[in-house]
Amino acid sequence: MTHLIETFTSVFYQSAIKPQRVVVAFSGGVDSRVLLELAAQYTKAHRIDCQAIHVHHGLSDNADQWAEQCQAWCDDLSVPLAVERVSLDVHSGESIEKLARDARYNAFKSHLRQGDMLVTGQHIDDQVETFLLALKRGSGPKGLSSMAKVMPFSGAYIVRPMLSVTRAEIEVFASCMGLTWVEDESNQDVRFDRNFIRHQVTPVLTERWPSFRESVSRSAQLCAEQEMLLDELLASHLQRALGDDQSLSIEVLSEQSALLRARLLRMWLGNCQQAMPSQKQLQLIWEEVACAQHDANPKLVLNDVEVRRFNQKLYLVRETKDLSGWQGEIAVGGRLVLPDGLGGVSLHAGRFESELGRRVQTFSLPDQNAVLRVTFNPEGLSAHPVGRGHSRKLKKLFQEYQVPSWLRRRTPILMDGDRVIAVLGLFVDKNYDGQDCEALWSN
């Protein structure tokens, strides 16, 4: 028992991270049941908060009973429990294992705060399974690195304090402590790849080579170290290609060998918190997006984002709503909240000191009591920017002002009737040139 407690505690000391709160991923199985017990002891001894999260997938007829049992165990330890109910799109084409895992981690994200540590119950047997699954997929060193003991996650950290412990050791600890736990019947279903490895592959390998688990763990660690070294050696190359807006220079990429270029693309995607692409996807990013015809507007869907090209740079663009039909009214002295997370627009009489994170235009109105309109649809609109020789269609002006195609219907246009006052963040129309009013677009 002491061995497991010391193992749990040592991970926190070695990481040099002092958690403000420990959040336990609590399924109710034996691994997380032991994890909850260890976390409760640790947080009580160190006088920090402990929180448990149980994700209710709804896949088993016993799911409600498991949630109730988890609540009872948390109540016994005076640990608050949040039960998150999720629904899975089982017809999406993705495996149920991946859907459930993604749903769990999305649920965890919603509860994490800065400085938290999310502790999960994976052990060395899980590490072997993860390694073999990566091997089956043909993964490179990054995939074979498997699971790290400590890694950043959603402004907090994921910590796997039992990654060096076997499943058998956890079960012995649970029995000695007199703990009970739930048994998920799906864990016996060898149609799932992880269960197949657990029940039919790993036992054969460990019987032949008793130290097989430790060898796999060591290989995963060596792969992780090689990955960290490569990232360190190539950091300067990435910085040279990286723009202030997190775009990636196609010109810099084209100077590199195919191997280095692929590595820089992976590092870029990793920095943007994206899953690692396959070799085929990397090839498509380069050939069909970066190297597309000059007048093309290429894009490649990658998980939940699009890889786009503009001005000889690659961008990651998240899926957004079509705002063409949206409009709102605003008067001087008022503020209008924009849709889809685009912030808000405020209008003031006179000039004010601008604040960080705001885009400001000054202009004049014939009637400061007029009710103005904000739209995102440039269709059919023209404007004559201050300092320009003549009026042009907004479509052409967006091109001249180097606005990427995916932002052209996400940029607020301030209207006076059917006339453009300003395109916020870009220009003011010549007919409204002046200093009487100020428009602030804040994110």
- Per the model's pLDDT, the better-predicted residue between 41 and 360 turns out to be 41
Q: What is the pLDDT of residue 396?
A: 93
Verify that 275 and 372 share a domain, yes or no. no
**Is the predicted pLDDT of residue 122 greater than 90, yes or no?**
yes
**Is the predicted pLDDT of residue 323 greater than 80, yes or no?**
yes
Verify that 400 and 425 share a domain, yes or no. yes
Of 288, 318, 348, the domain-final residue: 318
**Strand 382-383 relative to strand 371-375, pairing:** unpaired
In whole angstroms, give the CA distance from residue 221 to residue 213. 12
Reported as a pLDDT band with limits 50, 70 and 90, residue 357 is very low
Average confidence (pLDDT) over 232-250: 94
Lowest-confidence segment of 86-90, 92-96, 231-235 by average pLDDT: 92-96
Contact assessment for residue 429 and residue 385, using Cβ atoms and an 8 Å cutoff: yes
Q: What is the pLDDT of residue 376?
A: 95
Q: What is the pLDDT of residue 61?
A: 86
The rounded percent of the chain whose pLDDT value lies above 70 is 97
**Domain-located, residue 38:** yes
- 32: annotated binding-site residue? yes
- Angle, vertex CA 70, rays to CA 68 and CA 73, nearest 5: 115
Verify that 41 and 118 share a domain, yes or no. yes
Residue closest to 167 by CA, chosen among 136, 121, 133, 211: 121
Neighbours of 38 (CB within 10 A): 22
CA 34 to chain centre: 29
**Domain-located, residue 273:** yes
Q: For position 110, which CATH number holds?
A: 3.40.50.620
- 125: annotated binding-site residue? no
Question: Domain total for the chain?
Answer: 3
Q: For position 306, which CATH number holds?
A: 1.20.59.20
- What residues have CB less than 8 Å from 308, skipping those under 6 apart? 289, 297, 298, 299, 314, 315, 316, 317, 404, 405, 406
In whole angstroms, give the CA distance from residue 240 to residue 380. 40
- Which residues are registered as beta bridge partners of 118? 23, 158
The rounded percent of the chain whose pLDDT value lies above 90 is 66
Beta strand residue intervals within 108-256, DSSP E: 116-119, 150-153, 156-159, 248-249
Verify that 213 and 334 share a domain, yes or no. no
- What residues have CB less than 8 Å from 313, skipping those under 6 apart? 243, 247, 248, 249, 250
One-letter amino acid for residue 432 of the chain: Y
> For all residues of the chain together, what is the average pLDDT?
90
- Angle, vertex CA 20, rays to CA 73 and CA 101, nearest 5: 55
**Is the predicted pLDDT of residue 13 greater than 70, yes or no?**
yes
Q: What is the pLDDT of residue 356?
A: 43
Q: What is the pLDDT of residue 369?
A: 86
Verify that 313 and 331 share a domain, yes or no. no
**Domain-located, residue 226:** no
Verify that 310 and 436 share a domain, yes or no. no
In whole angstroms, give the CA distance from residue 90 to residue 58. 12
Verify that 338 and 403 share a domain, yes or no. yes
Verify that 92 and 206 share a domain, yes or no. yes
Verify that 339 and 360 share a domain, yes or no. yes
Reported as a pLDDT band with limits 50, 70 and 90, residue 349 is confident
**Is the predicted pLDDT of residue 350 greater than 50, yes or no?**
yes
Average confidence (pLDDT) over 226-231: 93
**Is the predicted pLDDT of residue 436 greater than 70, yes or no?**
yes
- 31: annotated binding-site residue? yes
Q: What is the pLDDT of residues 28-62, one digit of tens each?
A: 999 999 999 999 999 999 999 999 999 998 888 88
Average confidence (pLDDT) over 278-295: 91
In whole angstroms, give the CA distance from residue 295 to residue 201. 53
Q: How many residues does the chain have?
A: 443
Verify that 215 and 262 share a domain, yes or no. no
- What residues have CB less than 8 Å from 34, skipping those under 6 apart? 4, 121, 162, 170, 173, 174, 177, 179
Average confidence (pLDDT) over 125-139: 93
Reported as a pLDDT band with limits 50, 70 and 90, residue 2 is low
Average confidence (pLDDT) over 213-218: 95
Q: What is the pLDDT of residue 303?
A: 80
- Per the model's pLDDT, the better-predicted residue between 106 and 321 turns out to be 106
One-letter amino acid for residue 175 of the chain: S
- What residues have CB less than 8 Å from 198, skipping those under 6 apart? 125, 129, 187
Q: What is the pLDDT of residue 371?
A: 93
Q: Residue 369, CB half-sphere, CA atoms under 13 Å: how many? A: 0
**Domain-located, residue 181:** yes
**Is the predicted pLDDT of residue 103 greater than 60, yes or no?**
yes
**Domain-located, residue 231:** no
Q: What is the pLDDT of residue 389?
A: 83
SS3 category, 70: helix
In whole angstroms, give the CA distance from residue 270 to residue 141. 14
**Is the predicted pLDDT of residue 274 greater than 50, yes or no?**
yes
Of 268, 295, 318, the domain-final residue: 318
**Domain-located, residue 77:** yes
**Is the predicted pLDDT of residue 393 greater than 70, yes or no?**
yes
Verify that 271 and 332 share a domain, yes or no. no
**Is the predicted pLDDT of residue 215 greater than 80, yes or no?**
yes
Average confidence (pLDDT) over 150-169: 91
Verify that 176 and 31 share a domain, yes or no. yes
- 30: annotated binding-site residue? yes
Range of the domain at 60: 1-221
- Which residues are registered as beta bridge partners of 246? none
**Domain-located, residue 235:** no
28: left (phi over 0), alpha (psi -120 to 50) or beta: left
Q: What is the pLDDT of residue 352?
A: 55
Q: Alpha helix (H) ranges present in 113-210?
A: 124-137, 141-144, 167-176, 193-196, 202-208
Of 186, 221, 256, the domain-final residue: 221
**Domain-located, residue 228:** no
